[in-house]
Amino acid sequence: MDDNELQRALIEANIPGAAYMIVDRDGARFEGAWGTADAGKSTPMRIDTPCQIASMTKVLVSASAMQLVERGQLELDAPIAGVLSELAQPNVLDGFDDGGAPVLRPAKRDITLRHLLTHTAGFGYFFVHTEVLRYFSHVGMPKPGAKSGIEMALMFDPGERWEYGVATDWVGQAIEAATGQKLRDYMRENLFDPLGMADTAFLDQPHPNAAAVHRRLPESGFATTPAFLGGGEFDAGGAGLTSTAPDYARFMRAILRGGDLDGRRILETGTVAEMGRNQIGELRAGHLPTVMPQLANPFDMLPDQHTGWGLGFLINPERGPDGRSPGSLSWSGLFNSYFWIDPAAGVAGVFMAQLSPFGDAGALSAFGALERMAYA
């Protein structure tokens, strides 16, 4: 493979550094690293430099929940309140009164695990949705890592819309309730160890060799920021993992292979297929507005497609502009990490950067060049 286009894209992107891989069912087809892991120290980025993968945590937690569905310990369509009493009798935010207080009403239906996995439960993010930020501004903004950050009124009745939010954090809580284990312990024993993902974990402190999170300086260059999504009061199933490109590639290969890698099966083939099937009907998934542009730009990976959502993945119904087949699976992480999995073509790719805010045009351009390499 000719990586000249990718090298040009990385230079033009003007990002601090990145690690990236293209894999197929049998192993790595291409891998590399570029730039620095810490611009302040000129530390080189390596293919196995640990990175905070933020929302790329979600599909790993979703896969863990589906293991429990296979075992009968969780049910997709039963009220999740049977496992999580905190989600019994949820309220929906129905506006604000003249004094700015939230106006609540009972939800029309129960929340299910399927709602949580498909982001149709009604939860949002305070940095994405104006009404959620306004709600927390009244009840009190949660401290970083506090469980109160996922305790909120719903934006809408379960099943009626797709909006991105803290639902997968609640999936992690459901895994803990169903198994009696900490999320980190369950996932290590049932996902990370079987797949050989030795460098993937919920950490209480930043990894000593992790890439720093960077911000662009007004004129040129980068400053590092102490942003860390781990630690806190609970294992954040929506964003808390640190991982590496090779580790994440092992999970992607397991999905390409129908749930099996190197003789270790993490999911049944039918379960993997169901995770990759659109679960939300005519609803459209994938668009994220923003109310905190210092954290995230508005984002829509495929704005010209009516993208769907499976049990953990964004799904494109048409061929992507950089080559991925219809029915491919993808998502991203807050610090400009991205992946796609193409079951039809048997290829997948991961791109890990550590740059804020999310949706950086340069990082997206470089990720697009990586994808084009896979189909060249």
CA distance readout (Å), 80 to 75, 108, 167, 201: 8, 15, 12, 26
d(CA 189, CA 175): 13
Catalytic residue among 20, 58, 125, 332: 58
Provide the token pair at 99.
């004094």
- Structure-token match 């894999």, residue found: 23
d(CA 133, CA 136): 5
Question: 317: which DSSP letter?
Answer: S
Phi, psi values for residue 150, rounded to 5°: -110, 0
Strands (E), 192-244: 201-202, 213-216, 222-225, 241-243
Is 164 assigned a catalytic role?
A: yes
Catalytic residue among 125, 164, 186, 338: 164
Residue pair 9/368 in contact by the 8 Å Cβ criterion: yes
Facing residues of 106 across strands? 91
d(CA 376, CA 364): 18
Is 55 assigned a catalytic role?
A: yes
CB-CB neighbours of 47 under 10 Å: 16
Q: How far is CA 10 from the centre of its chain?
A: 23
d(CA 171, CA 30): 33
Phi, psi values for residue 122, rounded to 5°: 115, -5
Residue pair 332/4 in contact by the 8 Å Cβ criterion: no
Q: Which helix (H) or strand (E) holds 363?
A: helix 361-375
263 contact partners, CB below 8 Å, separation of at least 6: none
Is 58 assigned a catalytic role?
A: yes
Phi, psi values for residue 272, rounded to 5°: -60, -40
Q: Please list the active-site residues.
A: 55, 58, 164
